[in-house]
Structure 1
Amino acid sequence: MEFLSVLDVSFFLLVGFGTLVGIIFGAIPGMTATMAVAVCLPLTYALGLNNGLALLLGLYVGGISGGMVPAVLLNIPGTPSSITTTFDGYPMARRGEGEKALRICVIASVIGGLISAAVLFLFAPLLADFSIKFSYVEKFLIILLALSVIASLSNSMLIGIFSGVIGIWLSLIGDYSISDGGNGHTRLMFDFMEPYLFEGFSLLPVLIGIFGISTILLEAEKGVKRDVAGERVKIGASGRFSLSTFKGSLTNLTRSSFIGTFVGMLPGVGGSAASVLAYTQEKNLAKDSSQMGKGAPQGLIASESANNALTGGALIPLLSLGIPGDATTAVLIGAFTLQGIQVGPLFIPENHETWYIMMTALVLANFVMFVLMFFAIKHIAKVVMVPKHILYPLIVMMCVVGAYAINYGIMFDVWTLLIFGVLGYLIQKIGLEVAPLIIGFILGSQAEVYFVKSLESFGTYSIFFTKSPIALVLWALIAASVLFAIAMGFKSRARQKMELSQMHTPSNTTAGKRHDSTNG
């Protein structure tokens, strides 16, 4: 418990402040937890590691939780992980049970977050101890597995792979260091770009641009003054909340929380997959699911416990393997980079104090989120009325100032911010995926180093297949993820054909009847 001695009042205040700001970001349609963390990332340099992590983890938990507010009141998911919350939350709000729905979501969220934190505390050190024994071969295959999982769980496997390859290509721009097995020359650039890109694109401006500027551009395209008053409903006071609502929901809570934690461990999958999977399981396994989608509390419990459990689950691969579990934890890598700390198998053994401080901040953020949202939900809900034409310019200004200050005033970092902001906007407009691209960017250079080092050590490509039983298991998992993607692709096509045939059948029948009546 020695780590408690380094915590001061500022630590607890930053957890509370971060959670509140995260809730506000999550509650404003179009804003996300990832954007909140990215925009506030430069502040952590001045705060130091412990206080910086307190702020960012508060933003993470608050941002995920805040998405429930517009999901219930506006039928608009505040964050991608709140999609299934709209299914039952908005119908309850239309019945005047908005306050009851939000309180159900808050309790489910805090339970899911605490369960995932417990799994993180128990499982991450074991995985880190195991992964310390990995050679360059296993490390390369771990990254290859992460990239294959991301691609296989994308909307299209080919699009996911292509997006990841673009990210890897961008990560390789710059000097090919001799220490990494290279020739010491720059690559993938024109000669006039060498003064700016000798060390490649700086990670933090890339992250802020992808998740900050591009989001602003996408939302601005919809119209920052768009009026959603017609969609807004009052919180309402009918249908008052009671803990008896959770009677018989222990299985749903536990199952959904573990589903969210497990999905969070899969790199790049995201909270929307966790909440959809948990919601689907509850609908399939519940004794009575007839009201789900019409305003059933059990649907809210499944959705919110799963998406908040994502927070602890996504930190497991980040802290034990150095692989981000989702877009937000990819941004968290930037916080460690600012403090000169590398996450991976050695992080927990070499940084016990930081590890315990992270766990303290994560648990505390869940409790702060509960207190803020449960007892002040009527006031929190008002943030959906913030004018976007005032909010967005302030966020852009914070992004630009943060990018400029990160590396002590390098103007090219601002250009990097703008370049990747526009790139992030364009790739989403043409149908590519951000998560595979950004995780490919983060892991691409590491994958190259491990691949080259493996060949230098053993001199043959066969080493990737014969090095150890662990390598064979990883290859089996890679193959399974690819086969899963192919199977899901065939299933999706079959479903689309069936839907098309069902659409055409009634019209054909009607046409036939008309033809017969005409002949008669």
Structure 2
Amino acid sequence: MPMFEVLTPLSVLLCLFGVLIGIIMGSIPGMTATMAIAIFLPATYALDMINSIGLLIGLYVGGISGGMVPAVLLNIPGTPSSLCTTFDGYPMTQNGEGEKALKVGITASIIGGFVSLSILFFFAPVLASFAIDFSAVDKFLIVVFALTVIASISKGSLLGGVFSGVLGVFISLIGRFPDNNQIRLVPPGFEQELVYGFSLLPVLIGLFAIGQNLQESEEGLVAASHQKIDLAKNKAKQFKFRIFKGQFVNTVRSSIIGTFVGMLPGVGGSAASITSYSQAKNFSKNPEKLGKGEPEGMIASESANNGLIGGALVPLLSLGIPGDSTTAILVGAFLLQGIEVGPLFITTNPDLWSGIVFALVIANIAMFIMMFFSIKYFAKIVYIPKHIIFPIIMLMCVVGSYAINNGVMFDVWTLLLFGLVGYIFPKVGIQIAPFLIGFILGTQGEKYFIDSLKGSGGDLTVFFTDGPLAIGLWVVIIVSVVYAVIDNRRTKKAESAS
């Protein structure tokens, strides 16, 4: 299907605008692609789905790519997936090769983006066509698997990750039970406001935009105090495309690693970055140079970084399971338009599926052109004072939440409540990403669980006897939990040894 039969001129302009804003927000230490999408989510209410997806995909690609700027210049990962970018990017900046490091990362990013897009284009429809035949039991077990991965592969605490996911599921069950119209888990006096539970979009915006704002404000609103950097101090070592000569295998391998790690719900960008970087080091002819300002390390990290985007969209569009916190927010955008993601999404929304693919093409090309030829200007963004940006973000969040459901004040209170939740939870060991995805998947899991029991006449053994696929899913769930327990113990031993 030709690109411009699907995308309108407005959707292309919104995609370009999204890339620009995404790069700017990704370049500011403390901002993320997730936060950028959360802030602009209410704006999609006034747009149709094709235009909305253009804007959101642009923000996604731009935000992920922009995260390399503070990683290279300030040694601060702009996104979790740019963690390993600091290993070689910052030493290159210290050596007077900041511009070279950024251009290496930008070039690796567009390659990673197109590799992941190719895998998304060919793999997601196949997986979706296979998933169409899933029974309610199979769908319930897929949700359980997603929850085990999200909750168990957690930052620092297995118990904390599990509790965060379960708490998200619990909160999602607030409201009216669909089978008997009984109100459950609702505080007295709020029956009318919470009859349908908490609205997803104010929850998303509160957790990521308001919560992040409060965390960053606690650390201080002053501009970055780092010394201004001459990006091309070392004139003898300018960027040339021949840097990639001999790096073909490293680039493609890292892009594929990033894509497939992105497909695993809840694993996160830092895992993709670390995995690809470690593989680059294992196969490098000069592994001792990595970590000291070597372009090879930048290529591995940034190609995996952008490979995550297509990978995270695969489970979202084929199974209805968000691969990370950013795609969880994209679920909100689809729901706002009355579209349900899942196995039937691609076949029932062919224009929208094509629009997503074409938007990714445009966004990656736009990201490369904007950053490659204007990197000196984007590099200055890291010094913008936060006391100017944060009040604007707060205002946009409040106005957007109020407008989502045509002026419901309770949505603003929901926004502020979950903004405080997003600020407090990390301090007490509750992790935001497992909580959010538990919140999104909780109602789906309940629906499939009840449908399974209805089909079996209340026989719980149906979850173990439905067929070979159900048995296979139980094996995957058990392996996921066992791996999480072993990995948690190994991490604790390593921490105690150090």
Q: TM-score if structure 1 supplies the norm length?
A: 0.93
Match of 1:515 in 2: none
Q: CA deviation at 1:453?
A: 1.2
What pairs up with 1:183-222 in 2 under 5 angstroms? 183-222=180-219
Alpha-carbon offset, residue 340 of structure 1: 0.6
The AA in structure 2 aligned to 1:490 is R
Which residue of structure 2 aligns with residue 173 of structure 1? 174
Q: Deviations over 1:158-181 (max 9, x none)?
A: 111100011001100011112xxx
1:34/1:328 contact within 8 Å kept: yes
Residue 226 of structure 1: CA displacement?
Answer: 5.0
Rounded to whole Å, the distance in 1 between the matches of 2:6 and 2:104 is 36
Which residue pairs with 1:22 in the alignment? Answer: 22
**Partner residue in 2 for 1:94:** 94
Question: Counterpart of 2:479?
Answer: 480
Aligned partners of 2:39 and 2:209 also within 8 Å: yes
Counterpart amino acid of residue 167 in structure 1: G
The aligned residue for residue 373 of structure 2 is 375
Instruction: Report the counterpart of residue 235 of structure 1 in structure 2.
Output: 231
Q: Would you say the 8 A contact 1:97–1:235 is kept in 2? A: yes
After superposition, residues 338-417 of structure 1 pair within 5 angstroms as 338-417=336-415
Letter of the aligned partner of 2:119 in structure 1?
V
Letter in 2 for 1:306: A
Q: Judge which range, 21-30 or 247-256, deviates more.
A: 247-256
Q: Could you tell me how far apart the structure 2 residues matched to 1:55 and 1:498 are? A: 47
C-alpha contact (below 8 Å) 2:128/2:342 kept by paired residues: yes
CA distance in structure 1 between the aligned counterparts of 2:485 and 2:5, rounded to whole angstroms: 53
Partners of 2:233 and 2:387 in 1: CA distance: 31
* Cα distance, 1:428 vs structure 2: 1.0
Contact kept? 2:6, 2:351, Cα under 8 Å: no
- Cα drift, residue 495 of structure 1: 2.0
Q: Within 2, Cα distance between the matches of 1:270 and 1:489?
A: 16
Equivalents in 2 of 1:432, 1:294: separation in Å? 35
Which deviates more from structure 2 when the two are superposed, residues 281-290 or residues 64-73? 281-290
* Residue identity opposite 1:236 in structure 2: A
Instruction: Give the C-alpha shift of residue 152 in structure 1.
Output: 2.3
Distance 2:326 2:126 in 1: 23
Post-superposition shift, 1:246?
1.0
2:416 corresponds in structure 1 to: 418
- 1: distance between equivalents of 2:132 and 2:6? 28
CA offsets 1:194-221 (integer angstroms, 9 cap, x no match): 0110110000000000010000000000
RMSD: 1.1
Residues 6 and 355 in structure 2, CA contact (< 8 A), matched pair in contact too? no
Distance 2:78 2:496 in 1: 32
Task: Please tell me whether the aligned partners of residues 74 and 233 of structure 1 are also in contact (alpha carbons under 8 angstroms).
Answer: no
Is the Cα contact below 8 Å between 2:38 and 2:329 reproduced in 1?
yes
Q: How does 1:75-94 map to 2 (within 5 A)?
A: 75-94=75-94
CA distance in 1, matches of 2:224, 2:118: 42
| Structure 1 consecutive aligned stretches of length 4 or more whose deviation exceeds 6 Å | none
3-state secondary structure, aligned to 2:246: coil
- For residues 35 and 223 of structure 1, the distance between their equivalents in structure 2, rounded to whole angstroms, comes to 18
What CA distance in whole angstroms lies between the structure 2 residues aligned with 1:394 and 1:2? 39
Q: Which amino acid aligns with 1:144?
A: V
Q: Aligned with 2:36: secondary structure?
A: helix
Instruction: Label 1:309 to 1:6 Cα distance change in 2 as closer, same or farther (>3 A).
Output: closer
Q: 1:102 corresponds to which letter in structure 2?
A: L
Q: Per the alignment, in what secondary structure is the counterpart of residue 408 of structure 1?
A: coil
Q: Give yes or no for contact 1:259–1:278 (8 Å, CA) kept in 2.
A: yes
Which protein has the larger Cα radius of gyration, Structure 1 or Structure 2? 1
The offset of 1:490, in angstroms, is: 2.3
- Per-residue deviation, 1:102: 0.2
Determine the structure 2 residue equivalent to 1:143.
Answer: 143
Aligned counterparts, 1:212-361, within 5 A: 212-225=209-222, 227-230=224-227, 232-238=228-234, 239-361=237-359
- The one-letter amino acid of 1:169's match is F
SS in 2 for 1:196: coil
Please give the TM-score of this superposition, normalised by the length of structure 2: 0.97
User: Quick one: distance in 2 between partners of 1:287 and 1:475?
Assistant: 42
**Match of 1:428?**
426
SS of residue in 2 equivalent to 1:77? coil
- What is the match of residue 51 of structure 1? 51
Q: 1: CA distance between counterparts of 2:4 and 2:135?
A: 35
Q: State the 1:6 CA deviation.
A: 4.2
Measure the CA separation in 2 of the matches of 1:188 and 1:397: 31
How far is the alpha carbon of 1:7 from its aligned partner? 2.7
Give identity over the alignment, percent.
Answer: 57
For residues 83 and 374 of structure 2, the distance between their equivalents in structure 1, rounded to whole angstroms, comes to: 23
CA separation in 1, counterparts of 2:431 and 2:307? Answer: 23
Residue pair 1:3, 1:353 contacting (<8 A) in 2 also? no
**What's the CA shift for 1:357?**
0.8
For 2:491 and 2:127, how far apart are their aligned partners in 1? Answer: 35
> Residues of 2 paired with 1:449 and 1:177: CA distance?
9
Count of residues paired in the alignment:
494
1:195 match: secondary structure: coil
